[in-house]
């Protein structure tokens, strides 16, 4: 059973988090939330109560979850939330409560230990080592994969 998906990624220089969860058979719905800095910017809830008796329900629900997760990423990438991100709100949206700022935490008492350097991988005899090259940062690569951009490039 897939409990959920979580991804952090950058869009227009800011870090966002998309979380998709299945509430289970007692409450058969899938919820996807889009966060920025701990604040929910958007959500989508889909019921699957009408299909709880289908064969291979777990696989069907997992596919529904993946598609809903990708859809939220596509909506963000497509600019649907740009107005909200810019701090503007639609005319029909209620005014946001003023933000409260917590006092800064004191510095840690002792510095964290330095991590040890990783050894270089040992080449396999008889195989030429070729590095994999991807354009963009890790967030862009993951987003591209989730949106299926890689598949489109392979078809071209």
pLDDT in tens, 9-23: 899 889 999 999 999
- Kindly state the DSSP code that residue 152 receives in the 8-state scheme: H
pLDDT, tens digit, 9 for 90 and up, residues 100-145: 445 565 565 655 555 555 555 555 555 554 444 445 556 666 666 6
In a domain, 21, yes or no: yes
In a domain, 134, yes or no: no
Among 154, 11, 22, smallest CA distance to 80 is for 11
In a domain, 104, yes or no: no
Q: Which pair of structure tokens corresponds to residue 152?
A: 């489109």
In a domain, 127, yes or no: no
In a domain, 130, yes or no: no
Which residues, in sequence order, are CB contacts of 34 under 8 Å at separation 6+? 16, 17, 18, 40, 41, 42, 43, 72, 76, 81
pLDDT, tens digit, 9 for 90 and up, residues 47-81: 999 999 999 999 999 999 999 999 999 999 999 99
- Domain limits at 67? 4-85
Among 147, 153, 1, smallest CA distance to 76 is for 147
Number of domain units in the chain: 1
Q: Which pair of structure tokens corresponds to residue 37?
A: 């800095």
Per residue in 2-35, is it b (16+ CB within 10 Å) or e — as a string?
A: eeebebebebeeeebbbbbbbeeeeebebbbbbb
């Amino acid at each position: 059973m897939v409990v959920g998906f979580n991804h952090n990624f950058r869009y227009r220089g800011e870090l966002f988090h998309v979380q998709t969860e299945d509430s289970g058979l007692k409450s058969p719905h899938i919820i996807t939330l889009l966060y920025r800095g701990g604040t929910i910017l958007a959500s989508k809830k889909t019921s699957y109560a009408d299909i709880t008796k289908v064969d291979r329900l777990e696989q069907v629900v997992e596919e529904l979850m993946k598609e809903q997760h990708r859809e939220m990423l596509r909506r963000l990438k497509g600019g649907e939330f740009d107005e909200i991100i810019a701090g503007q709100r639609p005319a029909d949206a209620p005014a946001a409560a003023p933000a409260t700022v917590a006092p800064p935490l004191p510095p840690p008492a002792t510095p964290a230990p330095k991590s040890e350097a990783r050894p270089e991988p040992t080449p396999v005899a008889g195989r030429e080592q070729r590095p994999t090259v991807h354009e963009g940062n890790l967030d862009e690569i993951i987003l591209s994969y989730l949106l299926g951009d890689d598949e489109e490039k392979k078809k071209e």
